[in-house]
Chain A
Amino acid sequence: MPFLSVGNDHPARLAKPETRSQKPNFARPTYIKYASRLKFRRGEPLAKPAADRMIGSIFRLPASRFPPCPQPYFVSQSMATMDSRSAEDHLRVIRELMERATVYRTISAPAALCCGFLALIVSSGALIPGPLQPILRHYFVRVWIIVFLVSAIANTLFLLRSTRERKETFPSRRLRTALVAIAPAFLVAGALTILLTRNRGSEIFVAVCWIGLYGMALLSTVTFAPRSIAWLGWAFVLTSCLCLGLLTQDYLFSFTASRHVTLQGLGYLTMAGTFGLYHIIYGFAVMFYGRHGNG
């Protein structure tokens, strides 16, 4: 099927071109390129205002291509026939491409490893008998706030390094967006910490709240975060739900009594399993398999 629909009675077919060079050369790359997009308008050229009204976008080919023809008009079909659905498709493609390009990892893989190992070391100090054990157990909340601050500083440094590598300003627009997204969950975590630490023996509840809210903070960045962040967030949230389900008074007392574990010890165990182990798994997974490992 020819890409130009020219009628049999059209002067382009009836008139014999005078020279070889004046023949319309359909095999030329320029014509082939236009083939899928152009539609030939038969007959005399339309009056320009009428053409504008009818078909929107019109341009003409050089007259030398069709010497015997009246100058033909061509219509850019993709534009003239663009309806709301194709416009919507265009916008969807633009949005998807933009989202894919603005993928932002709020926790860099090295920072996750630092945080994970730090959590494991601190938890080991609190769980294994030694000189540090009483201090760590007594100051549960303060210890973990220090761990959080050290991890946050490490994460900031790694993000700063990767931002410089990409020649962006720090904090980048994406980092600011991420911070705004995670801020509510961190604020609630802070408020709950103040509330729960008024009572002794609430360490395990504080830990479970932190785990759940941290997971929610990660999931709040899911629209622009890579999939691994979402998995990490869900792991934290589900663990928190599981712990909340198990933390009935009877179960808690029977668990701590049978294993000679204090509530502080249980809190450290939970923190080691989540903030320690989950971050280490995430860090290694991103370093070896992730595309955006450095944030």
Chain B
Amino acid sequence: MAATGMVDFNKLDRTIHEKGRLAIMTLLATRPRWAFPELKSELQMSDGNLVTHLRALHQIGYVAVTKEVLDRPHTTYSMTERGRAAFKAYIETLEEIVRLGRL
């Protein structure tokens, strides 16, 4: 822990740090768009849980929501530039912790 004491933990984004939201952000980083059912099946989350996390991420500006009505309503989610930057910073902080731990 002595080595990791040099890491500024304030850099770890609390919104992303939560397990469920971290999983959502990870998936959104892999593809430009994710439909709600795809996210649900990949993460094995309940509708309510997933919606709550997505709403939290949307409110903070990390996730953009697109709602289309074709033959039926279709909601897709994508990562915003701000979200991508925050996710990148989060991973860099984790890498920094790992790096300092190995010193």
Q: Which residue of B lies closest to A88 (CB)?
A: B98
Residue of A nearest to B43 (CB): A97
Given A78-B17, A82-B4, A82-B9, do A168 and B30 touch, yes or no (CB 8 Å)?
no
Main DSSP-derived SS at the B contact region:
helix
Given A56-B10, A101-B42, the answer on whether A84 and B97 have CB atoms closer than 8 Å is yes
B37 interface hit (Cβ, 8 Å)? no
Asked if B101 and A84 sit within 8 Å, CB to CB, the answer is: yes
Number of interface residues of B (CB under 8 A): 29
Chain B residues contacting A56 (CB-CB under 8 Å) are 7-10
Interface centre among B10, B14, B97 (most CB of A within 10 A): B97
Is A135 among interface residues, defined by CB-CB distance under 8 A? Answer: no
Return the CB mask of B72-85 against A: 1 if under 8 Å, else 0. Answer: 00001000000000
Binding site secondary structure of chain A: helix
Contact B4 A94 (CB under 8 A): no
Cα distance, A167 to B98, chains bound together (Å): 37
For chain A, which range describes its interface: under 10, 10 to 19, 20 to 34, or 35 or more residues? Answer: 20 to 34
Tell me how far the C-beta of B34 lies from the nearest C-beta in chain A, rounded to whole angstroms. Answer: 9
Between-chain CB contacts (< 8 Å), 14 pairs? A56-B7, A57-B12, A76-B14, A79-B14, A83-B1, A83-B4, A84-B4, A84-B102, A87-B94, A93-B23, A94-B26, A98-B26, A167-B32, A167-B33
A97-B27, A166-B33 are known; give 17 further A-B pairs, CB within 8 A. A56-B7, A56-B9, A57-B12, A76-B14, A78-B17, A79-B12, A83-B4, A84-B101, A84-B102, A87-B98, A87-B101, A90-B94, A98-B26, A100-B42, A101-B42, A167-B76, A168-B32
Residue ranges of A at the interface with B (Cβ–Cβ < 8 Å): 56-57, 76, 78-85, 87-88, 90-91, 93-94, 97-98, 100-102, 166-168
